[in-house]
Structure 1
Amino acid sequence: MGEPRIKNEDQYEALRNKGYSKEKAARIANTPNAGEKGGKSDPYEEWNKDELYDQAKNVGIEGRSKMKKSELISALRNN
């Protein structure tokens, strides 16, 4: 199993160059509207469970299949 796919490579590289961990840089670069200014992405509480699961999969969160919606939100915020 390879590394999760990065949706916004330029943003990912910029974050890595600023010292962000691979996981945190990937999480940020894979969010909807990645690279847009002004925090236009909806808060995780407004996402449905499938969207949260897909985001957790994108950033490589382990055990996501057994998590409740609130646990997915917490895992995504603290990854």
Structure 2
Amino acid sequence: MPNSSVKDEKMYQELRKQGDSKEKAARISNAAASRGRGKVGAKGGKSGSYDDWKVGDLRKRAAELDIGGRSKMSKDELVKALRDH
């Protein structure tokens, strides 16, 4: 069933099939619909890998995104939670 808040339903469904979270898929598909797929694709890939971050920095980012249970997560768990968000 289409979600009225998603502006590019086809892209949203493709992202969900790839394993992206609902929030991430909606964020990407809406950005692509408003700015164009080329601009959204060109924007990605510029930040460093979460694997290079310190645990404290990962927890701070997880707090910004309101990821629950972050204080007890290992570095690998934090990286996975941030990537899946």
1:77 match: secondary structure? helix
Q: Which residue of 2 is the match for residue 63 of structure 1?
A: 69
Task: Report which of the two structures shows the higher radius of gyration computed on alpha carbons.
Answer: 2
1:17 CA displacement: 5.4
Runs of 4+ in structure 1 deviating by more than 2 angstroms, as ranges, are: 16-21, 35-38
1:74 match: secondary structure? helix
Unaligned runs of 5+ in 1: 1-15, 26-34
Q: Which residue of 2 is the match for residue 43 of structure 1?
A: 49
Unaligned runs of 5+ in 2: 1-5, 13-21, 28-39
Say how many residue pairs are matched.
54
Q: Which amino acid aligns with 2:58?
A: L
Percent identity, please.
44
RMSD across aligned C-alpha pairs, in angstroms? 2.3
